[in-house]
Amino acid sequence: MAVLTVVCFFRSTERAHNLLNSKNRMAKRKASPERKTPVKRRRVTEQAAPSTSADAHEVKGVKRKVQQDAAGTTSPAKKPKFAEPTSGDKEQASSSLDAGKDCSQSTNGCMKDGRRKSAGDSKEPPKRKKGDKTKHSAQNLAADQRREFQARYVEEHHLGGGGCGAVFAGYRITDRCPVAIKHIPKDRIPIKVTGENGKRVSVEVAIMLKLAAEADGPVGASAPVSLLDWFDLGTELILVLERPVPAVDLHDYITANGGCLPEEKAKVILKQLVDAAKHLEDKRIFHRDIKSENILIETGSDVPRVRIIDFGLSCFAKERSVYRLFYGTPIHTPPECYGRKKYRAGPTTVWQMGVVLYEALHVGDFNTMTFLQKELKFSKDLSPHCRNFLDACLTNVPEKRPTLGDLQLHPWLR
């Protein structure tokens, strides 16, 4: 009997000990950081700009990353004046910043079942809060703008794009005039300015409206392509731009000519480009990203004609404006951005003239860092005047570079 009591005591003690250990292990598992429930990660996607064409296809992707950093911009001496919004079929640049109208979300004039209201329907609609009314109005205005765009233009295949948006070919319905249709998501507009109405607008729109207002001739007469129309769809802007036909960008034009151009043909292009850049400078407009992909060459005649596109990174500039954050193509960054951490409009534009000329006369792309390390060599076949022009544009010290006015008078371009 005594032996049985001792055995039962030990078994009871062992069970209690095991139970205590089990509880301790459970407590440790719950407290262990390795056992925490994982947090679900959000899935982030990016959607391309829409195309209304059933056979839309991509012609060419982004050749180079356009944007580097955010940039400090200088406000214009005088704020740009914006025209009144367009309506109906007026063919002029629209400057409405109000988003358009969405009737799919409006029951105004209709019952929920789709019946028209009659005089006997006396029940008052539910009152909206002020914030809901504002949001509803913005949605309606955005839908109106979309319908107006679709009533005026047909969008076709994808032409290209960059860090700020995508561009599609298209035409105007009334006369089948070729246009380029640029979609810019609102969250990708890099620079905005304030108009006289106090509203913020894309600097690309503001600059192109200024150029249109001050144009000396009809659409197509100036080197910068013209803004024909624009629409604010709430979440994106749509710019309708002149599209010269036939035309290719300078990068493809050089490629089609064997990878580099004869000096005489390069001279014809550079003379027009310098004149166009000087015209922009006189209007206090700093393009900031003049390069072969942003230069169209009209090929419909024996003499190639230069057109400048993509003002998405441009800004209004005063004569002595200084910038500390670089906007543009990183491989074309002027040397002063590396050393002094600042740059100015005139010397930077002259540097870009040199970059464009180098790529026109040599096989391969220009890279500032490679050039500064003296790994890029100039062709020995260049004439002395051409070599001098190129040397002057690509001078490391910005104060020693000629002005655009000086380049216009350079012997190589005379």
Catalytic residue annotation: 289
Angstrom distance (rounded) from CA 333 to CA 372: 11
Cα dihedral 192, 194, 200, 201 sign: negative
The single-letter code of the amino acid at 139 is Q
For residue 285, the number of C-alpha atoms closer than 13 Å in the C-beta half-sphere is 27
Angstrom distance (rounded) from CA 371 to CA 367: 6
How many of the other CB atoms lie within 10 Å of CB of 78? 9
Angstrom distance (rounded) from CA 126 to CA 130: 13
Angstrom distance (rounded) from CA 182 to CA 165: 7
Structural Rg of the chain based on CA atoms: 31
Q: Please state, in angstroms and as integers, the Cα–Cα distance from residue 371 to each residue in 146, 342, 365, following that order.
A: 47, 19, 11
Angstrom distance (rounded) from CA 142 to CA 162: 24
Q: Is 282 left (phi over 0), alpha (psi -120 to 50) or beta?
A: alpha
Angstrom distance (rounded) from CA 299 to CA 248: 8
* CB 169, CB 180: distance < 8 Å: yes
Angstrom distance (rounded) from CA 171 to CA 388: 44
* CB 308, CB 278: distance < 8 Å: no
Paired tokens of 333: 């960054």
| Token pair 């319908």 in the structure block, residue | 147
Angstrom distance (rounded) from CA 52 to CA 31: 56
Angstrom distance (rounded) from CA 166 to CA 66: 13
Nearest to 280 by CA among 68, 185, 272: 272
- 3 state SS of 227: strand
Angstrom distance (rounded) from CA 287 to CA 356: 14
